Protein backbone atom coordinates (compact mmCIF):
# COMPACT_ATOMS: atom_id res chain seq x y z
CA UNK A 1 0.00 0.00 0.00
CA UNK A 2 1.54 3.36 -1.01
CA UNK A 3 2.07 6.16 1.48
CA UNK A 4 -0.38 9.03 1.27
CA UNK A 5 -0.37 12.56 2.55
CA UNK A 6 -3.70 13.75 3.98
CA UNK A 7 -4.40 17.47 3.66
CA UNK A 8 -7.26 18.98 5.62
CA UNK A 9 -9.22 22.20 5.58
CA UNK A 10 -11.99 22.26 8.16
CA UNK A 11 -15.01 24.34 9.05
CA UNK A 12 -15.17 26.74 6.13
CA UNK A 13 -18.44 28.68 6.27
CA UNK A 14 -19.76 29.25 2.75
CA UNK A 15 -23.09 30.63 1.52
CA UNK A 16 -24.44 28.43 -1.30
CA UNK A 17 -27.70 28.40 -3.24
CA UNK A 18 -29.08 25.00 -2.27
CA UNK A 19 -32.25 23.31 -1.09
CA UNK A 20 -35.52 21.84 -2.29
CA UNK A 21 -38.11 23.75 -0.27
CA UNK A 22 -39.46 27.10 -1.45
CA UNK A 23 -38.01 28.92 1.56
CA UNK A 24 -34.56 27.53 0.65
CA UNK A 25 -34.44 28.18 -3.08
CA UNK A 26 -34.21 31.96 -3.33
CA UNK A 27 -31.43 32.81 -0.85
CA UNK A 28 -28.03 31.25 -0.25
CA UNK A 29 -27.79 28.96 2.78
CA UNK A 30 -24.83 28.87 5.14
CA UNK A 31 -22.92 25.60 4.92
CA UNK A 32 -19.96 24.43 6.97
CA UNK A 33 -17.60 22.55 4.65
CA UNK A 34 -14.62 20.41 5.66
CA UNK A 35 -12.28 18.60 3.27
CA UNK A 36 -9.76 15.81 3.57
CA UNK A 37 -7.68 15.01 0.50
CA UNK A 38 -5.38 12.00 0.10
CA UNK A 39 -2.43 12.89 -2.09
CA UNK A 40 0.42 10.85 -3.55
CA UNK A 41 3.59 12.00 -1.89
CA UNK A 42 7.32 11.78 -2.47
CA UNK A 43 9.56 9.31 -0.68
CA UNK A 44 10.57 11.94 1.91
CA UNK A 45 9.98 15.54 2.92
CA UNK A 46 13.40 17.03 3.58
CA UNK A 47 13.81 20.55 5.03
CA UNK A 48 14.31 22.04 1.55
CA UNK A 49 11.44 20.17 -0.14
CA UNK A 50 9.51 22.62 -2.36
CA UNK A 51 5.76 23.21 -2.08
CA UNK A 52 5.29 21.51 -5.45
CA UNK A 53 5.97 18.18 -3.66
CA UNK A 54 2.76 18.72 -1.71
CA UNK A 55 -0.36 20.80 -2.42
CA UNK A 56 -1.30 24.22 -1.23
CA UNK A 57 -4.13 24.35 1.30
CA UNK A 58 -5.38 27.35 -0.66
CA UNK A 59 -6.28 24.93 -3.50
CA UNK A 60 -8.54 23.01 -1.13
CA UNK A 61 -10.11 26.19 0.18
CA UNK A 62 -10.64 27.42 -3.39
CA UNK A 63 -12.47 24.19 -4.36
CA UNK A 64 -14.96 24.71 -1.52
CA UNK A 65 -15.42 28.47 -1.93
CA UNK A 66 -14.56 30.47 -5.03
CA UNK A 67 -14.69 27.45 -7.39
CA UNK A 68 -18.39 26.96 -6.59
CA UNK A 69 -20.27 28.69 -9.42
CA UNK A 70 -22.09 31.88 -8.43
CA UNK A 71 -25.79 31.95 -9.23
CA UNK A 72 -26.09 28.18 -9.67
CA UNK A 73 -28.71 26.50 -7.47
CA UNK A 74 -27.66 23.06 -6.22
CA UNK A 75 -30.83 21.14 -5.37
CA UNK A 76 -28.91 18.78 -3.06
CA UNK A 77 -25.85 19.42 -0.94
CA UNK A 78 -24.59 16.14 -2.40
CA UNK A 79 -24.19 18.04 -5.70
CA UNK A 80 -22.14 20.69 -3.89
CA UNK A 81 -19.85 17.95 -2.55
CA UNK A 82 -19.63 16.39 -6.02
CA UNK A 83 -18.55 19.71 -7.54
CA UNK A 84 -15.83 20.09 -4.89
CA UNK A 85 -14.54 16.55 -5.54
CA UNK A 86 -14.50 17.11 -9.32
CA UNK A 87 -12.63 20.40 -8.90
CA UNK A 88 -9.91 18.74 -6.81
CA UNK A 89 -9.52 15.70 -9.08
CA UNK A 90 -9.23 17.86 -12.20
CA UNK A 91 -6.77 20.26 -10.60
CA UNK A 92 -4.15 17.69 -9.59
CA UNK A 93 -3.53 14.14 -10.82
CA UNK A 94 -1.89 13.27 -7.47
CA UNK A 95 -5.23 13.54 -5.66
CA UNK A 96 -6.32 9.96 -4.92
CA UNK A 97 -9.29 10.44 -2.59
CA UNK A 98 -11.47 13.35 -1.51
CA UNK A 99 -13.71 13.41 1.56
CA UNK A 100 -16.15 16.30 1.84
CA UNK A 101 -18.26 16.93 4.92
CA UNK A 102 -21.09 19.47 4.63
CA UNK A 103 -23.23 20.65 7.52
CA UNK A 104 -26.39 22.69 6.85
CA UNK A 105 -26.18 25.41 9.48
CA UNK A 106 -29.63 26.89 8.84
CA UNK A 107 -31.50 23.78 10.01
CA UNK A 108 -29.59 23.31 13.24
CA UNK A 109 -31.74 24.19 16.25
CA UNK A 110 -29.78 22.90 19.23
CA UNK A 111 -26.21 22.95 17.97
CA UNK A 112 -26.44 19.58 16.23
CA UNK A 113 -24.60 18.94 12.96
CA UNK A 114 -26.97 17.89 10.18
CA UNK A 115 -25.45 17.08 6.82
CA UNK A 116 -23.52 14.62 4.71
CA UNK A 117 -20.09 13.16 4.17
CA UNK A 118 -19.11 12.15 0.63
CA UNK A 119 -16.00 10.12 -0.16
CA UNK A 120 -14.83 9.84 -3.75
CA UNK A 121 -11.81 7.91 -5.02
CA UNK A 122 -10.06 8.65 -8.29
CA UNK A 123 -11.36 6.27 -10.93
CATH of the domain at 37: 3.30.1130.10
- Split into its structural domains, the chain has a count of 1
Q: Give the CA count within 13 Å in the CB-facing half-sphere of 43.
A: 0
Q: How far apart are the first and last CA of the chain?
A: 17
pLDDT tens track for 63-110: 999 999 998 999 999 999 999 999 999 999 999 999 999 999 988 888
Range(s) of the domain holding residue 112: 4-43+52-121
Residue 88 CB neighbours (<10 A): 26
Predicted TM-score (pTM) of this structure: 0.92
Closest CA to 34 of 54, 58, 13, 18: 13
Work out the average pLDDT over 1-29.
87
pLDDT tens track for 17-64: 998 876 667 789 999 999 999 999 888 999 999 988 888 999 999 999
Closest CA to 37 of 94, 82, 115, 111: 94
What pLDDT is stored for residue 95 in this prediction?
A: 96
Residue 31 CB neighbours (<10 A): 23
Amino acid sequence: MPDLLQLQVCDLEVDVLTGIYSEETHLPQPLRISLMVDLDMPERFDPDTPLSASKSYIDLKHAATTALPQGVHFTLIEAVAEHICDTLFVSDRRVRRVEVRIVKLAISQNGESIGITMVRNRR
